[in-house]
Structure 1
């Protein structure tokens, strides 16, 4: 990529960041949560690619410069555990003296065998996925299930560049000729010539665009396909795998997926590596994919809720952090807030509601990696990778002041039931509801399609006043419903924290 092209991309990214100041409502979140920026030593790289809360209360962080460092919040000390890692964008604790880290070229177990606080063993757990050298071929994860299986996400490549002379793995017969794909080194020629014939994102080496499963004994399974940039992977307490992706070609707006083995999430580049697939990426049409594409569980409206969602994380006890268990929190690179996801599944169909959470300049942007420590603190690590984002480490803790929030959104016949953790004074008089969808096409992103204001037939409260029933003329599958509850307060006059609800209705499930 030329310096000019890179500069233009950075300018665009910063424009999005500046515009994002208005995306999140920063209404007095610090009345309910402490948001502290951790003082960072100048000798430690402030870009955090991986973060895990250790069993003993310390934090293990992988940094963009290739270090693995240990931070002790009680002693406010930093120590280097390992060095020389290659773009490590995820970490989990493996044992008291070892970690598993996702580097760009491999999944690695790193061990301190002699107990001196320094790594002395590096074991490649999986390094058989393909690499062409393309800058966009990041690798994310791992997430770990209760059986010790690891899950990683492999980015597809970008046609802002091509491939290098030496690649790892088989070169796909469905991709453009290798010699043509190397022309990108002559930037003017690439931009004016062959790049125009290359799909926006591509998968020319094995399993780019896939989530892979690696068992404790090293067996590898291509688990699910159809991803563009799966920056966040998480296994929840029920052993369900959640994966975020980023808007782009074939992805109208950024999604959250609940991923099962064999799923196809929608981006066709990865299908080059699906057994029996025989169609080139640029020949694929939406009609070819509709029967195999699994709808996302949640959709982040681009420029409103998120531009680049990152890691999902299951909530913990409300006594520790103030949110109901059974939800997810999701990080976001370009907007000043975190996001709640409240599942409302129907059988195997995953769906639910996004609600903005903890917003404002004190939180900032670049919220890439998160974990809860045993004391209930939420730790947030930031990164920008030379793109939009930020740097540093943030600690978020709950205050004792009661908060007024939505704690559930579910379907009723031709409508929704919104549950609150406090009682309302009266039926809200200014509820606004819209619905829309997005194009599924090869173009980059999508505007809102069929944006419609939905009239309310009637609404009412239950006897206790903590459940709002909203009846509509009908519920329509395959639509993202936006419910605006602005100016709603509880009986103590507290404002509703997170008043815009976005329910992704894949399937009707009212009883």
Structure 2
């Protein structure tokens, strides 16, 4: 089996690049979403660490080692070079913006020769000490033109010549905002490795972090001024007078669960969604929102998240309860040729994934790459959205479900430790007390009554082997809802 090749810019993708559980799973996935692989410039380590679409619809790709390439009729062409570890790219107001370790750089081609001749600093001012993990990600622009950058915690030895920055690099583990007037503002704190930063359909900003200290598994955070998301390395800067984050100088470590910390730790904001470890991947990365108007299937306005270790893409549905975001995550596409790092969408609605295996192992046998996920126009039977009710959950499906296929639902709920220890197991797990499940007459909505809903817990469901009325099987049976607030 090979992926369809729509133009010369795509190479053939063989089944050998898939790392799926079986060829049956691969075939089912390809029925709905086809993976195509770009032909890349020969002799270039094309570690695609940032993606953007220019004003005329061309794909721009940032490489980790400091270059930006733009796709043309004859393949990719070098646009800019000489930068330091780019981990993000955006198109804004007629220019490309590349996020380097120490700054966000505005790139323009002013003479029309196809190469950038203007490199301007658009944002800077955070600490860089030479520590290995001092990455910077982004940028994201809001409607007012403010530029947001997410900054990795230092996590490592500093350079001897860093001076004061070596003692305490400023705003590490924060999201910072640069105003159009050139003022850098600390915005929110408590991150470990906020590798993905993106926006929903309404312009709200979200960040993925990665499992490790203070992060029991991959979270998806809703970014807002003054929020604090638990990683203690950012606490010293929260004590500065210009900090909008108001928290205590010390926090409990290993004595609380996340559910308990939500009630007792000053300023702590839980993630909108937890992605359970291994079940939904191990390291979340890039974020993109489907704003294609249906060109990418039945998931318009939902978020898609890159997954590094398992080389795939996951899907997130969000809703507001009590004025705050929470929601559900679902598996989506797996079997990419290596780790997913950056995501963007093209004007035709397809999703592009930038890939690199640098630094950490992942499924797949390629060191880097660039792939495109294309909807085949065949709609899978999936949970389109999962909403909280006062008495349980409402599942809405993409296709009508055959009532004869509705069997027993099972599930559990669990929380995580609030601790500096690396990662964290599922705690206080209890089976869901499911007393009723009613399918609507049209087969599109399933309402499930659960007696033991718990705030601060992930509610995990394994759906039965449902079938659509046309006989199509349910593509993914697992669903995970992060319940931070109950419906009143």
| Shorter-chain TM band | 0.7 to 0.9
TM-score between both structures, scaled by the size of structure 1: 0.84
1:374-393 paired onto structure 2 within 5 Å: 374-389=347-362, 390-393=367-370
Instruction: Return closer, same or farther for 1:286/1:250 CA change in 2, 3 Å cut-off.
Output: farther
Given candidates 320, 324, 340, the residue that maps to 1:367 is 340
Distance 2:347 2:330 in 1: 25
Tell me the residue number matched to 1:494. 472
1:122-161 paired onto structure 2 within 5 Å: 122-158=119-155, 161=156
Tell me the residue number matched to 2:377. 400
Tell me the residue number matched to 1:62. 62
Matched, 1:273 2:237: yes
CA contact (8 A) 2:219 2:273 kept: yes
SS in 1 for 2:331: strand
Shift of 1:285: 7.5
Tell me the residue number matched to 1:197. none
Tell me the residue number matched to 1:71. 71
Tell me the residue number matched to 1:264. 228
Shift of 1:486: 4.0
Query: Which whole-Å deviations, capped at 9, do the CAs of 1:251-302 have from their partners, x for residues lacking one?
Result: 1111000111100011011011112689877997877971211010111111
Instruction: Return closer, same or farther for 1:291/1:494 CA change in 2, 3 Å cut-off.
Output: same
Deviates more, 1:473-482 or 1:288-297: 288-297
- Number of aligned residues: 454
Matched, 1:162 2:135: no
Tell me the residue number matched to 1:322. 297
Given candidates 243, 250, 274, the residue that maps to 1:299 is 274
Query: Which whole-Å deviations, capped at 9, do the CAs of 1:87-135 have from their partners, x for residues lacking one?
Result: 0011112344x31110011111112111111111211122211111001
Query: Which whole-Å deviations, capped at 9, do the CAs of 1:461-497 have from their partners, x for residues lacking one?
Result: 1121111111122311111011111411111111122
TM-score between both structures, scaled by the size of structure 2: 0.88
Shift of 1:431: 1.3
Matched, 1:255 2:219: yes
Matched, 1:109 2:82: no
Tell me the residue number matched to 1:14. none
Tell me the residue number matched to 2:435. 457
Deviates more, 1:425-434 or 1:137-146: 425-434
SS in 2 for 1:28: helix
Tell me the residue number matched to 2:484. 506
Tell me the residue number matched to 2:36. 36
CA contact (8 A) 1:318 1:324 kept: no
Instruction: Return closer, same or farther for 1:347/1:326 CA change in 2, 3 Å cut-off.
Output: farther
Matched, 1:354 2:325: no
SS in 2 for 1:471: strand
Instruction: Return closer, same or farther for 1:77/1:278 CA change in 2, 3 Å cut-off.
Output: closer
Shift of 1:309: 0.4
User: For structure 1, which runs of at least 5 residues remain unmatched after alignment?
Assistant: 1-17, 172-177, 179-203
Tell me the residue number matched to 1:215. 179
**Aligned Cα RMSD in Å?**
2.4
Tell me the residue number matched to 2:198. 234
Distance 1:335 1:150 in 2: 31
